Amino acid sequence: MENFLKIDGLTKERLLEAAQAALQQAYAPYSQIRVGAAVLADSGHIYAGSNVENSSYSLTVCAERNAIFHALAHGEKHFLALAVVTDSEQVKSPCGACRQVMAEFAPQLPVVFTNPQGTWVFNLSELLPQAFSLKADLDA
């Protein structure tokens, strides 16, 4: 959470607004759980993604991974914060697969999570305390 507090207010606002805008693009006809996410790269750019469901559930991709993959596709590899927004009270944090993808690139990533019940800020290490890793640091 300490790293999130170092980010200026305008950048935090832009990050949350990008996640909220991505929420509007979510494709969730099966679960009806829409999620938007935005990741802040250390370059200052913000990349957004929404969840995209498929009738074959294993092919569904979460908003958090879509945002990170969007950033990676643009050459980013270092992230400062991730915002996740949902309009569902059922969802309270990113799923395990998303947590593991986050851990690959930013083990101390601050994650801001917002649903109708409130907003929480976590460090990824709190959400995934023993992340799987074959190598401690891949700074390619």
Residue 4 burial class via C-beta count within 10 angstroms: exposed 0-12, middle 13-18, buried 19 and up: buried
- What's this model's pTM, rounded to 2 decimal places? 0.90
Which domains, from first to last, does the chain contain?
Answer: 2-127 (3.40.140.10)
Asked about 64 being catalytic, the answer comes back as: yes
pLDDT tens, position by position, 13-50: 999 999 999 999 999 999 999 999 999 999 999 999 99
The string of pLDDT tens digits covering residues 2-17 is 566 678 889 999 999 9
Among residues 2, 64, 76, 126, the one annotated as catalytic is 64
d(CA 37, CA 51): 8
